[in-house]
Each structure stands twice: as C-alpha cells, then as structure tokens.
Chains A and B, each alone.
Chain A
Amino acid sequence: MNGVHDMGGMHGMGPIQYEKDEPVFHALWEGRVFALRRAMSAWGKWSIDARRHEVELLPASEYLTMSYYERHFAALIELLIKSGLITREEMELGKPAPGSPKAVPALTAEKAVELVTKGLPTSRDVPAIPGFQPGQRVRARIMHPLGHTRLPRYARGKFGTIHRDHGVFVFPDTNAHFLGEKPQHVYSVCFAARELWGAQAAPNDSVYVDLWDDYLEPA
C-alpha cells in the first residue's frame, strides 16, 4: 500500500534528533510492549509480514505522531483481536470473558532466550528458478498494490542491475495476507542515485535495494 510508512525520498520530516547515550528502552512500558510483541508472536498466529502490515494500516496522521512502541502496541492489539486470542471487549474491560478457557503460555523464559539467540529464518530450502542473474539489467515493476509490499515507491519503474542473488525467501506480499509463502529469489539490486533522484544526486552514488523476483522485469 502507498502508505506513509514508505517514506524513502520524502521531504519535510524535520531534522534528525540524536540522543547521546540513549537507553535501550526509555520507559518500562516500552520494554513490556517489545516483549509482549515477541512473546505473542510465539503463538504462530501471524507472520512478521502480517505484523509489519498491521503497523502500516494505522491511519497516516497517527503513524507520524506516534512513537515506535506506541505504533507497535496499537498494532499488537489489532493482531490479538483479529487472530481471536483476545476480544475487543476483553481489551476494554481488562479481564477475560467469563468462562473463557485458560491457556498455557506458548513461550517460557527458557524458550524466549532460545528464540532470541536462534532466530526464525525466512529463507526457504525449496527449489525456485531465479528469474535474473547477477550483472543483469532489470526494471522494478510499476505497481501500486493496496496490500503489503516491500517494493518501495521510490524504486518503482526504475532501472538497476542485479548485484547479488541472496537465495530463496518467503514473499511478503502474499504471506502478510495469509495467502502462502510463495518462496522466490531475493536480489540485491543496485540503482544509480541519479536514476532514482536525477541530477541533484552525486554521479557515483547508488542505492542497493533487496527485491523479490515478482518485483522485477527484464530491462
């Protein structure tokens, strides 16, 4: 979707604000939101792609004024309700519906540490024919899907060169909408800065964007 989250190349976002010796979390609630998000994903009800899309669905004006953890808290509540883990009534009342069954947590402290240190690879060991080869000229497709995509607007329709084939990965555009993983090759595609931004860019600079097969066409 052409949301405000896709902000590469936008103007008017103000100066970069640097904080010296920044703490990992600025307040206790931020740490709790971070941990709740990770712990609840262990139920396997949504993928990282679905979670990212939920953040993108926040109204643009709210997205821009909320902090990172506020956005993720709002998105988590929506995911919990959509997936049926809680109801909106339970969230509003702050307690379980009468007679609702009690679950056993999916994530113990021990498993949490394991999750952190082992990770969840999104590469897939399945055969997929690469549509493109390193060195090949390509064009990023012109497309404006209403759903989730990881093809940024600033690259659409632009010409670049395949720098590297990263291998086969889950495809976010389908996976975010629970339509399957559709594994395919991901490439590092090199775009000349002037191809993206015109004469204002420095002549030798470039932007490397990681793009899936379905985002590309031969140039």
Chain B
Amino acid sequence: MTAELSDAHDHDHQVVPSDLILRVKALESLLVEKGLVDPAALDALIDAYEHKIGPRNGARVVARAWADPDYKQRLLTNADAAIAELGYAGQQGEHMVVIENTPKVHNLVVCTLCSCYPWPVLGLPPIWYKSAPYRSRAVIDPRGVLREFGLDLPEEVEVRVWDSTAELRYLVLPERPAGTEQLSEEELAALVSRDAMVGVAKVVPPQKAVSS
C-alpha cells in the first residue's frame, strides 16, 4: 500500500448515533413479533457471509485457471458453469463474467450507480468499493485511482473499466506472477488477493519463489 492511500479509521459509519442501533433493534423485534422474520434466518445469513462466502472462493477459481488451461478457457467463455464446478454460485453472482488481465490489458471493476459486486466469489464488498470516491473516479480517472492503490501502469497498457450497471458481475483474472511455476494450486490461491480480483492490484510473487 502506498502512502497516498490512507489506512483510515475515521469513516463516517463509525460515527453512528446510538439512536440508529436502537432503531435497528426495534425494527427486528417488531418484525419478529409480527411473525415476519425468523431470527435464526438472520443468523444464518450473517454466518454465511462472515464465514463461508469471501474472496478465498475467488482465489481458488483464479488458481485453478492458472493451473489448468482448459479450465481457464471454460472460465472465460462460460463463467457461471466454470465457477459452479468449484461449488460457488448464488446471490449477486447469478450472471458472472470473467475478464483476463494480460501484459497489454488491465481490467478494473466498479459499480458507479450502487455497489454491485460478485458476492459468491468475493464476499461482501469493502467500504472503499462502495464509497463515493471510488465510484465517482474509477470511470473518469482509472489510472489515477490505480496509482493511489500503488499500481502505476505504463501508457502502452490499455485500461478497461467495467461498470456493473446491469446484473452481470465481473471478476478479474489477474496475471500469474513469474516464479510460481512450482507452486501447487493451493499455494497459488494463497497469493491471490481480493484487490487483484477487483483489478486495483496485481498478484505479487511470494518471497520464497523469488529467492529460490
């Protein structure tokens, strides 16, 4: 991370009025009392996104694509089916598209209108992805945004921004870093970050692969 991107802890969401917390509790108990909501269903939903669905899923998809050229072909031509092969599917990932980064093309994903994001493979989006600074600038100044994330792309690299305005959800297939030929699929998956699958970072080779 560069110095330009602040690791801030003063997000507006942390100045939450205690009144809001009380209102959320009040709404939940009203809905439970009216028989409109089962608290166990709420617990199950929270548990799914806190513990089961997250960027490790997407990392496994990327690692498989790096390790298996046939899988990669299927992933790029029919992402829904290829992702389902690894057992991932579901809400906000019903219609997936995978876009490949190459030495000549860099892809970046945004949703300028709300916060659309491929949940089954990346989990729920981070705050910066949902925030006005990223949503407003990713389309008009993608190179500036990438520089803030520490990625300074040469002029000759073509930048493609994907604005998720419909129900298609985008996953970036990052470039496989050099020096990873000997790594297992599991070791490869461990290298793949959420940010690289949104397109705001590259996958960095592991130190041991560089030195060996």
A and B from one complex: yes
Binding site for B on A (CB under 8 A): 5-11, 13-20, 22, 24-27, 29-36, 38-40, 43, 52, 55, 64-70, 73, 76-77, 80, 85-86, 90-91, 94-96, 100, 102-113, 115-123, 150-152, 154, 166, 169-170, 186, 188, 193, 196-197, 201-202, 204-212
Taken residue by residue from 18 to 39, chain B's Cβ proximity to chain A (1 for < 8 Å, 0 otherwise) reads as: 0011011111111101111110
Flag if B16 contacts A27 (CB, 8 Å).
yes
Chain A residues near B33 (CB, 8 Å)? Answer: 95-96, 102
| Interface residue B127 (Cβ < 8 Å from any Cβ of A) | yes
Q: A9-B112, A100-B34 are in contact. List 14 more A-B contacts (CB 8 A).
A: A9-B140, A16-B137, A30-B13, A33-B24, A95-B30, A96-B34, A107-B37, A109-B38, A112-B45, A152-B113, A152-B163, A188-B97, A188-B168, A205-B161
Known: A24-B50, A109-B38, A186-B166. A19 touches B145 (CB 8 A): no
Cβ-defined contact, A65 with B41, below 8 A: no
Residue of A nearest to B158 (CB): A204
In the complex, identify which listed stretch (B4-12, B63-71, B178-186) lies at the interface while the others stay far away.
B4-12
Say yes or no for B151: interface residue by CB 8 A criterion: no
Q: Which residue of B lies closest to A204 (CB)?
A: B158
B123 CB to nearest A CB, Å: 7
A166-B166 in contact (CB<8A): yes
B11 to A: closest C-beta gap in Å: 6
Asked if A40 contacts B95 (CB within 8 A), the reply is no
B131 in the interface, Cβ–Cβ < 8 Å?
yes
Bound form: Cα–Cα A11–B28 in Å: 38
Query: Could you count the A-B residue pairs with CB atoms below 8 Å apart for me: how many are there?
Result: 298
Residue of B whose beta carbon sits closest to that of A63: B132
The 8 tightest CB contacts between A and B, nearest first, are A8-B112, A67-B13, A210-B166, A35-B42, A103-B35, A105-B38, A13-B132, A35-B45
Residues of B contacting A151 with CB < 8 Å?
165
Cα distance A112–B140 in the bound complex, in angstroms: 38
Asked if B128 and A16 sit within 8 Å, CB to CB, the answer is: yes
Residues of A within 8 A of B97 (CB): 166, 188
Distance of A118 Cα from B133 Cα, bound (Å): 32
Query: Is B134 in contact with A16, judged by CB distance below 8 angstroms?
Result: yes
12 intermolecular pairs with C-beta atoms under 8 Å apart:
A19-B8, A22-B126, A24-B123, A31-B46, A35-B45, A40-B31, A113-B48, A116-B90, A150-B165, A166-B166, A202-B155, A205-B143
- CB–CB B6/A36 < 8 A: no
Q: Is the CB of B139 within 8 A of A154?
A: yes
Are B163 and A108 within 8 A (Cβ)?
Answer: no
Judge whether B135 and A86 touch: CB under 8 Å: no
Evaluate whether A13 and B165 lie within 8 angstroms (CB atoms) in the complex, with A19-B9, A52-B114 already known.
no
B56 CB within 8 Å of chain A: no
Q: Return chain B residues, CB-CB under 8 Å to A64.
A: 132
Task: Answer whether residue B136 sits at the interface, using C-beta atoms and an 8 A cutoff.
Answer: yes
B95 and A166 contact, CB distance less than 8 A = yes
| Residues of chain A within 8 A of B93, CB atoms compared | 119
Which B residues touch A18, using CB under 8 A? 1, 5-8, 128, 149
In the complex, how many angstroms separate the beta carbon of A191 from the nearest chain B beta carbon? 9
For residue B16, which residues in chain A have a CB less than 8 angstroms away from its CB?
27, 29, 67, 70
Q: Shortest Cβ distance from A125 into chain B, in angstroms?
A: 13
| Pair B89/A119 contact, Cβ less than 8 Å | yes
B residues near A95, Cβ cutoff 8 Å: 30, 33
- Which of chain B's residues have a CB closer than 8 A to the CB of A100? 34
The residues of B that contact A188 with a CB separation of less than 8 Å are 97, 168
Structural contact, A120 and B165, CB atoms closer than 8 A: no
List the B residue with the shortest CB-CB distance to A149.
Answer: B113
* Most chain B CB atoms below 10 A, which of A18, A104, A120, A196: A18
In this complex, the member of A14, A113, A117, A211 whose beta carbon has the largest number of chain B beta carbons within 10 angstroms is: A117
A30→B130 CA distance, assembly (Å): 14
B138, B145, B166: the one contacting A169 at CB < 8 Å is B166
